[in-house]
Structure 1
Amino acid sequence: MVSGFSPHIKTSQIKKTTNTTEDGLKLLYEGENPQVDIIAVHGLGGHREKSWTTESGVSWLKNLLPVDLPDMRVHTWGYASMYTDEPETPQDTSERLVSELFAMRKMTGKQTLSRPLIFIAHSFGGNIVKSALLYSYNSNEDRTLCLRNISLSTQGVIFMGTPELDSRLTGLQTFMENNPRVKSKSSNAQSEARWMLDTLQNYSTISTKFKSLYAYESFNGPPQVTQPMSQRLTPSLMVDATHENMIKFESSLDESYIKIKESIDEIIHSVKESGLKEKT
């Protein structure tokens, strides 16, 4: 089975957006003097707050990160992932992320439109973010030109439990060739697999525009990549947890939390350095 995609979980049956407290953007921390916007996107079947919160009630996005990195604004974004008769495709979900994020930044002031963005994405949420950045980057018609602001503002993406390109391309191609359910181009499985393939293949054309970090859980076996981590060009790290718990941290002393925090801080630092160079 290819990580991040399952023919038994029909992402084309994801519930269409509704005005519930589970969907869309939620502000977790306004920031003392925000220089960066952080957007956290959960995985399939997740929750915009619970997915990032321990059983004891600690949300590192809300309780830990703001203490260590106060000069940022933190939002989490939720997309419905329950099965209903009103389907929303993964592409629809990705486009909605871009539209809602741009609308929020526009509403909160002109300065926030140019504020650097960092995405933190878990599992299938990484695919949504990749697709969203592609959609934003390719939005060049007059009516959608403003949406390109999201990809242009994005400085970094931290993928947690989202495998990289190489291993999944081979797996998806094999799946599409050998699974009779996807032979019909109109089937849901075919559409979902094709969306995943297109996202993985096309994202590689813009991925170098962002600083990326891939974090992998250690309790579910080695990461699904085709080359040793020591030989890979994209920065990566191991999180001492299961796939579900790799985005939950009890305290600021957690070694995995420290690694993620330092990675975010490095992206923020590089953004500030770039800003200083532009001014000189």
Structure 2
Amino acid sequence: MDRILTRLKRRKTTRDPLQETSRPLTPPQEHTNTGTGPSENPPIPSFPDGVKVLQDCPDANVDICFVHGLTGDRESTWTADGQSASWPETLLPPKLEKTRILTYGYDAYIVRKGVASSNRLIDHATNLLNDLTTDRVNAPSRPIIFVAHSLGGLVCKQAILLSRNHPETHLRDIFNCTIGIIFMGTPHRGAWMADWAKIPASALGLVKSINKSLLEILQTNDQALELIQVSFWSMIRERQKANQPPEVTCFFEELPLPGVGKVVSKESATLEGYNPITIRANHRDMVKFASAEESGFKRLLGELVRWVSQVGKEN
């Protein structure tokens, strides 16, 4: 009996290392707890999602919408190191005055209480379609150009396909008004999902990801994504034969990511028959311009100016 009591006391006072490591992990909170009691959970930090207008213009001819990938948000993805604001907000407005410049954010990777966003690709795409339609309610027929980085290009593709076949007429305006899409390091083909899953989350900036696969939030598979690719490019070819927009330009990364290599190969990021343009940077930095003199910025600006000027001629 004495032995049993001694064992029970030890269990109460000795920490079990397995129990310690099996407790659910939670990321550090970005905001302090404003509650009155110590037992209250700290508030969940907000994520910058939805549409943010970087440049408004009442008589704009075009909307330009930036869509980030899994590894960033609507502002930091497009902000170079050492800069206080993104280049779509600081460098583009002087070059494209009669445009509205928008950036779109979706909760693609933030871990809240140890659980990543459960939204699937189609959920992110549906939100993009609805949020953009709401933002453009006063000018639903205004032409729109998308600039999408990395897997944000897949969200963009899916949103356009949803718009094209949507039963509600007002949600079809996004498809009808899209005149151009710039894909930056978007994996259009190949076994990219398997390749991405092998990349350490920290290398891509997912420092808040805890015990989660990099692509788990997509909740889909290669076959479903391949169907999106086939449907999208079939639609593009169909529109081209009819001499209708959108136009497409693909940018690809020229440099490897340290310790990882090239995240999206040239073969996957470009498409035969479409203009392939290189940016001398790695996958993460290819969308971070600090100066209007950078060659990557000039190349991207050239495409935007060309498309915007075509709208001006039509009007």
Q: Give the corresponding residue for 2:170.
A: 146
1:73 matched residue in structure 2? 100
Corresponding residue SS for 1:232: coil
User: Does the 8 A contact of 1:136 with 1:150 survive in 2?
Assistant: yes
Query: Which consecutive residues of structure 2, in runs of 5 or more, have no partner in the other structure?
Result: 1-43, 196-215, 240-245, 257-261
Contact persistence 1:53–1:248 (CA under 8 A): yes
Name the SS of the counterpart of 2:92 in structure 1: helix
Instruction: Name the SS of the counterpart of 1:205 in structure 2.
Output: helix
Tell whether the 8 Å contact from 2:117 to 2:217 is kept in structure 1 after alignment: no
TM score, norm. by length of structure 1: 0.76
| From 250, 270, 295, the counterpart of 1:255 | 295
- Give the unaligned 5+ runs of structure 1: 1-17, 176-186
Counterpart AA for 1:216: F
* 1:159 aligns to 2:189 (yes or no): no
1:105 aligns with 2:136: yes
1:23 aligned residue: 49
Offset, 1:192: 3.1
Q: How many residues align?
A: 234
Question: Which residue number in structure 2 is paired with residue 133 of structure 1?
Answer: 160
After TM superposition, list the pairs within 5 Å mapping 1:1-280 onto structure 2. 20-31=46-57, 33-57=59-83, 58-81=85-108, 82-83=110-111, 84=115, 87-106=118-137, 109=138, 112-139=139-166, 141=167, 144-164=168-188, 167-168=189-190, 171=191, 191-208=220-237, 209=239, 210-220=246-256, 221=262, 223-225=265-267, 232-273=272-313, 275-276=314-315
TM-score by length of 2: 0.68
1:23-52: CA deviations, max 9, x gaps?
111111113741100110000131110110
Rate the CA distance shift 1:190–1:95 in 2: closer, same or farther, 3 A.
closer
Amino acid in structure 2 at the alignment position of 1:119: F
Aligned-partner Cα distance in 1 for 2:217–2:153: 21
1:153 maps to amino acid:
C
Change (3 A) 1:145 1:257: same
CA apart distance, 1:267: 1.0
- The one-letter amino acid of 1:212's match is V
Structure 2 residue identity aligned to 1:241: A
- Equivalent pairs: percent with the same residue? 28
Distance 1:131 1:69, change over 3 A: same
